């Protein structure tokens, strides 16, 4: 076994003839099952007939493939190797009555050594964060109250001209060079004037129009518009005002608080908001602190990561991101179009982040081992039960979930939590 760069190994293995000979009969049976041999059931034709049909080389090649798979797997288990992905196999020759010699090259999990000097950096971070305050300001509470009030706005239809902050419905048509653009028409399109959802100038042109009134105007698409064929071009807009509604935001007082259902007055609502914001601020501060921990811990980690490991992490990151943006109604293709990038360019941008995530996970695991951080089975099972309870209404969740994978994930998460708790005490 020889170590190669980027955490790969090269292994020279030999299988004696008397060992790999055992795989020839099963190979003949499997090949004969794929063809019809008159007078024989599938998989039961003798070797001489199969050899006449497909040639001796195919039989030996099939047997060698099976023998190599078994030999390689046994070697990995025996040497306790943490391999990543499938090996690249090179065979010298495949000759009957002779030993089978082959070379296997495969990526392995890199070895990580975390030096104790990281603890001094952690202590400095802890001292820095002790000076920080997570106290909720009055301005934060007011801003949250305004968000709640705006979410309960009352819409009142009016016969006056449109003013800023009104909710309106419009029919519109957009054309460039005399042709209506793709997706450039809409009926009863709802928007709030002044929110800046449309291109600059569109909403301003609606101010002063009345229900039933039609208006035409020209505007230029922004030079950095996400659709390159429209960027910077002049467009003609035809708009008809269908509905004008005044947005009446409720006054923030005791009555407003009581109307939310579980608060007797405004002071109780403010206290509830303060508690929620306090929890959120502490969580954000903790995340920021833990991120700084990891920056320091991985700073001095040496060794190159296998390409396969980075590729797997990037794939995981893409899946996570797709899940996040789906809730906004956007797809990964839409996102890439806005960025004016392709997937390969995105993955290249994300590569440093993927490497940091891998190194962070490995470093935390190494610290847990070094500091003898233990997670008991009972703790893991209790957390798993919480997860199962959370998803109890999801159809076939228990049937489809990989319990072993869930156990490993939960155990790893709890172990990381305990490592962070230990670091916070330094």
Query: What dihedral angle (degrees, nearest 10) is formed by the CA atoms of 172, 178, 184, 188?
Result: 20
Q: Where are the domains of the chain?
A: 2-108, 154-248, 371-426
**Minimal CA–CA distance to 140: which of 273, 306, 333, 21?**
273
**Minimal CA–CA distance to 10: which of 89, 128, 122?**
89
CA–CA distances in Å: residue 248 to residues 155, 165, 266, 267: 6, 10, 19, 23
In the prediction, which pLDDT does 303 show? 67
In the prediction, which pLDDT does 261 show? 83
Q: Which residues contact 23 (CB under 8 A, 6 or more apart)?
A: 63, 64, 66, 67, 70
pLDDT tens for each residue of the chain, 426 residues long: 999 988 899 999 999 999 999 999 999 999 888 888 888 888 888 888 888 888 999 999 999 999 999 999 999 999 999 899 899 999 988 999 999 999 999 999 888 888 888 899 999 999 999 988 888 999 999 999 999 999 999 999 999 999 999 999 999 999 999 999 998 999 999 999 999 989 999 999 999 999 999 999 999 999 988 888 899 999 999 999 999 999 999 999 999 999 998 899 999 999 999 999 999 999 999 999 999 999 999 887 776 788 889 999 999 999 999 988 887 888 888 888 878 889 999 999 999 999 999 999 999 999 999 999 999 999 999 999 888 888 877 777 777 788 888 899 999 999 999 999 999 999
2-108, superfamily in CATH?
Trigger factor ribosome-binding domain (3.30.70.1050)
Q: Which residues contact 235 (CB under 8 A, 6 or more apart)?
A: 174, 175, 176, 181, 218, 219, 220, 221
pTM for the complete prediction? 0.68
In the prediction, which pLDDT does 72 show? 95
- Look up the CATH architecture of domain 154-248: Roll (3.10)
What are the start-end ranges of the H helices in 263-306?
A: 266-299
Q: Check for a shared fold between 2-108 and 154-248.
A: no
């Amino acid at each position: 076994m020889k170590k190669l760069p980027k955490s790969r190994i090269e292994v020279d293995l030999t299988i004696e003839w008397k060992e790999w000979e055992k795989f020839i009969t099963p190979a003949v049976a499997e090949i004969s099952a794929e063809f019809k041999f008159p007078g024989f059931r599938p998989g039961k034709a003798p070797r001489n007939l199969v050899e006449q049909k497909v040639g001796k080389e195919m039989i030996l090649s099939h047997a060698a493939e099976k023998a190599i798979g078994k030999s390689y797997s046994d070697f990995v288990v025996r040497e306790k190797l943490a391999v990543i992905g499938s090996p690249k196999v090179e065979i010298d020759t495949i000759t009957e009555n002779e030993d089978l010699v082959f070379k296997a090259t495969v990526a392995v999990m890199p070895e990580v050594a975390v030096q104790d000097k990281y603890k001094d950096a952690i202590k400095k971070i802890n001292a820095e964060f002790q000076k920080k305050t997570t106290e909720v300001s009055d301005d934060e509470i007011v801003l949250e109250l305004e968000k709640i009030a705006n979410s309960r706005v009352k819409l009142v239809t009016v016969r006056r001209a449109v003013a800023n902050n009104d909710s309106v419905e419009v029919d519109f048509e957009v054309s460039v060079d005399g042709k209506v653009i793709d997706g450039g028409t809409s009926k009863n399109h709802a928007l709030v004037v002044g929110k800046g959802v449309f291109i600059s100038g569109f909403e301003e042109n609606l101010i002063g129009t009345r229900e039933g009134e039609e208006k035409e105007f020209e505007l230029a698409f922004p030079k950095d518009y996400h659709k390159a064929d429209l960027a910077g071009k002049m467009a003609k807009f035809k708009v008809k005002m269908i509905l004008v509604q005044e947005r009446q935001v409720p006054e923030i007082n005791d009555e407003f608080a009581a109307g939310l259902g579980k608060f007797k007055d405004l002071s109780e609502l403010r206290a509830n908001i303060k508690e929620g914001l306090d929890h959120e601020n502490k969580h954000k501060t903790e995340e920021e602190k833990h991120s700084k921990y990891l920056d320091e811990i991985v700073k001095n980690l040496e060794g190159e990561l296998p390409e396969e490991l980075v590729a797997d992490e990037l794939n995981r990151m893409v899946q996570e991101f797709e899940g996040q943006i789906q809730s906004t109604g956007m797809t990964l293709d839409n996102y890439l179009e806005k960025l004016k990038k392709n997937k390969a360019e995105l993955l290249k941008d994300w590569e440093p982040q993927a490497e940091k995530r891998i190194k962070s996970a490995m470093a935390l695991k190494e610290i847990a081992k070094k500091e003898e951080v233990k997670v008991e089975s009972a703790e893991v099972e209790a957390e798993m039960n919480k997860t199962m309870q959370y998803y109890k209404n999801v159809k076939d969740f228990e049937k489809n979930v990989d319990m072993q994978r869930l156990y490993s994930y939960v155990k790893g998460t709890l172990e990381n939590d305990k490592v962070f708790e230990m670091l916070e005490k330094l």
